[in-house]
Structure 1
Amino acid sequence: MNEPQPVLDGESLITPTAIAADMAALYPSQGSSDHLATATAELGLVLHSARQWFEAGNDPAQTMRWTVEALHKMRRKVDPGVWQALIPLAQEHPVADYFHQDPFTRWSFEKPRGYSGDARLLDFIYQHENIREDVAEASPIGSALYAYSKYYPSCVAVRERRDLLAQYVDEIAEERGDGTEVLAIASGHLREAGSSVALEQGRIARWVALDQDPLSVGSVARDYAGTPVEAIDGSVRGLLTDAYKLGSFDFVYSAGLYDYLTDAVAIRLNRRCLRMLKPKGTLLFANFSPELTDDGYMETFMNWALLLRTEADMWKIINASVDRNTVDAEVFFGENRNIVYGVIRKRD
């Protein structure tokens, strides 16, 4: 099976080459042909067992649960270079045809929008109404798999992230008043705005939603027409080169972008965001953490690779982004520790 490769516009800096280079620098391979042969045999046993259970009519959700756990343990155990060699073997195994009956898994693997983690993929996580047709058309196996996969710990964390973003917007609007201005970078469909009390009550003066995907930009423009939300077609590169005259903001955030940015780009982006903050403004950025437990399944059957960051990694980015004497900063985890957050507040 030849999986589709991401087709990016070159503007976002979210490139497979950049991710591969960063991973290679962080985790130089210590593997050997013997290690690879052993791991290949172990992977083959896992995938063969999963296929047998599907063919026997066993509960698809239980088969998925067992496979997700087995792939996670294997990913943790083997050398990163060996794991990278195992990924295409899993993707080409016949059992993939079963897992891809899950509309969520299939959308991630096929990447109809040309890149990983797109806004419609997140709508599968949010169980948004615009993916109901995909779910309704799924096979019985696919429906059972989606009923399980949408409750992955990572999905629970993403829904919590959406709610946390709305909470930050509301709290900052409460503190700053009716002139509050917000910038969302790589905004996707801006689903967090749908639960913002401040937006509903007219306490947001401007909420800029910047994204490089024209389909996402169009969705936001349509869904939030007549509100203070402004949908803008823009990229990370455009921000870094000061291509947009966006003004200044009380709150700047990016929730799902840093998982694809190297440290160097993340630091540059943070510095640019901090320059756009008003006095006492707040910057928030988020990243999936290595405590993710469905990472092996995501990288194989979903073809969804991420740069995972620890608490120390987040502090490294913060400390390289700003003079700590001029800001207050914190790093914290979401409830299930699958996502880690960095927050920087300017003192003046």
Structure 2
Amino acid sequence: MIPLQHIAYQSVGLTLLKEFIENEQLSQTNFFRLDELLAITGYEYRQGRISKEEIAEINNSFGRTFLEHTLHGRGFLKPNGYPGDYLFLDRIYTHHISADPRYGIWDQYVQQNGAPDAVRNRKEYFKHMVRAKAKTVSRLNVLNIISGSGRELEELYDSVTDQNIDTTCVEIDEEAIEFSKELNKNQLDRIEYVHSNIFRYQTEESFDFIWAAGLFDYLNDKAFIKLLRRFAAWQKKGGEIVIGNYNEAHNPSRDYMEILGDWHLIHRTEAQLLQLAKKAGFSEDEIHVSRMPDNVILYLHIQTL
């Protein structure tokens, strides 16, 4: 028997959200209403008052054709087997909006969310850091982990005149590698692609800059520490590791991601990131956390002395 309290909560969150999706035409003027309904539903879901099965039923309201033609649908369907695949993120980078108004308004809704903005800012953060580091060394050796579409590399190499940046991309998705190779076809002499799970990746090289911005918020603490220790073995003396992780204290897109996107990340605080780095063997004076003004993604920096 379902408790009456559970039924009441369901009627507040799931019922109103489903009614909105089925009966209202989304427009820029009612984005706020969808945000409100997602916030209600997201709160109750994280309180354990709504089941995953009930959440999954919401997306049945959209229909398969809609899901196959929208950013939202690609995020939910996960055609490559994992959330936030290379093409989904590349469409975020390029501000993709469908020309069909039935789908375009939902693309607009997704694109104006805080998390897509943070993803675009993350790309800018990477480019800024690499350009700055390239000015301080004769040759900069970069390890780009879960390199995805390679859009940040295409923009990076197009923006620098010095030819002193070499990048090794480790990516498990072969389709992503092929996409990135085509996008960066004029830079293949400076980019090496390795098709590998990062936990199985082996190298004798050492790197000035190790970047992993879309991985660690999928790892539990044990895997986080284990992989960070592996990074330490690949880090040049004086080199820097930067880990991106969504901020537990501030992700305005979390309700959308978890309720409509079935996209669940391990959010962490600054204190948690610093503690994990210490458990991985780094000293307090080697680590710090930074952020962009949006404060959605935290960046754990580890620089050996």
* TM-score above 0.5: yes
Q: Does 1:82 align with 2:49?
A: yes
Contact 2:68 2:74 in 1 (8 A): no
Deviations 1:75-130 (A, max 9, x none): 235544224444224233x25679747611011111111111111010121126xx
Q: Does 1:304 align with 2:274?
A: no
Name the amino acid aligned to 1:110. Answer: L
Name the amino acid aligned to 1:307. Answer: I
Name the amino acid aligned to 2:112. Answer: Y
Q: Does 1:320 align with 2:279?
A: yes
Aligned match for 2:86, one of 103, 111, 119: 119
SS in 2 for 1:232: strand
In the alignment, the residues of structure 1 paired with residue 189 and residue 159 of structure 2 have an alpha-carbon distance, to the nearest angstrom, of 8
SS in 2 for 1:344: strand
TM-score, normalization by structure 2: 0.88
Q: Does 1:53 align with 2:24?
A: yes
SS in 2 for 1:189: coil
Aligned match for 2:150, one of 190, 203, 227: 190
Name the amino acid aligned to 1:283. Answer: I
- Provide the residue aligned with 1:69 in structure 2: 36
Q: Does 1:257 align with 2:224?
A: no
Seen in structure 2, the aligned counterparts of structure 1 residues 84 and 274 have a Cα distance that, compared at 3 Å, is farther
Q: Does 1:91 align with 2:50?
A: no
- Provide the residue aligned with 1:237 in structure 2: 199
TM-score, normalization by structure 1: 0.78
SS in 1 for 2:252: coil
| Structure 1, 181-190 or 38-47: larger mean CA deviation | 38-47
Q: CA deviation at 1:146?
A: 1.2
- Provide the residue aligned with 2:9 in structure 1: 39
Seen in structure 2, the aligned counterparts of structure 1 residues 300 and 96 have a Cα distance that, compared at 3 Å, is farther
Q: Which blocks of at least 5 consecutive residues in structure 1 are unaligned?
A: 1-31
- Provide the residue aligned with 1:346 in structure 2: 304
Seen in structure 2, the aligned counterparts of structure 1 residues 258 and 99 have a Cα distance that, compared at 3 Å, is farther
In the alignment, the residues of structure 1 paired with residue 212 and residue 46 of structure 2 have an alpha-carbon distance, to the nearest angstrom, of 31
Deviations 1:194-225 (A, max 9, x none): 23269732343420011000011122233333
Name the amino acid aligned to 2:84. Answer: G
Contact 1:39 1:78 in 2 (8 A): no
Q: Which blocks of at least 5 consecutive residues in structure 2 are unaligned?
A: none
Seen in structure 2, the aligned counterparts of structure 1 residues 198 and 126 have a Cα distance that, compared at 3 Å, is closer
Seen in structure 2, the aligned counterparts of structure 1 residues 331 and 154 have a Cα distance that, compared at 3 Å, is same
Write the mapping of 1:71-220 to structure 2, written as runs, cut at 5 A: 71-76=38-43, 79-85=46-52, 86-92=54-60, 94=61, 100=67, 103-127=70-94, 135-136=98-99, 138=100, 140-175=101-136, 177-196=137-156, 200-220=160-180
Deviations 1:27-66 (A, max 9, x none): xxxxx94443222111202321443222xxxx53344442
| Structure 1, 223-232 or 335-344: larger mean CA deviation | 223-232
In the alignment, the residues of structure 1 paired with residue 151 and residue 20 of structure 2 have an alpha-carbon distance, to the nearest angstrom, of 39
Q: CA deviation at 1:156?
A: 0.7
In the alignment, the residues of structure 2 paired with residue 259 and residue 266 of structure 1 have an alpha-carbon distance, to the nearest angstrom, of 9
Name the amino acid aligned to 2:74. Answer: W
Name the amino acid aligned to 1:223. Answer: L
Aligned match for 1:288, one of 239, 246, 252: 246
In the alignment, the residues of structure 1 paired with residue 288 and residue 20 of structure 2 have an alpha-carbon distance, to the nearest angstrom, of 45
Percent identity over the alignment?
22
Contact 1:72 1:294 in 2 (8 A): no
- Provide the residue aligned with 1:268 in structure 2: 226
- Provide the residue aligned with 1:7 in structure 2: none
Deviations 1:295-348 (A, max 9, x none): 2222232222211112222122212112316x521112221121111110000x
| Structure 1, 148-157 or 79-88: larger mean CA deviation | 79-88
In the alignment, the residues of structure 2 paired with residue 341 and residue 113 of structure 1 have an alpha-carbon distance, to the nearest angstrom, of 27
Residues matched between the structures, number? 299
Name the amino acid aligned to 1:236. Answer: I
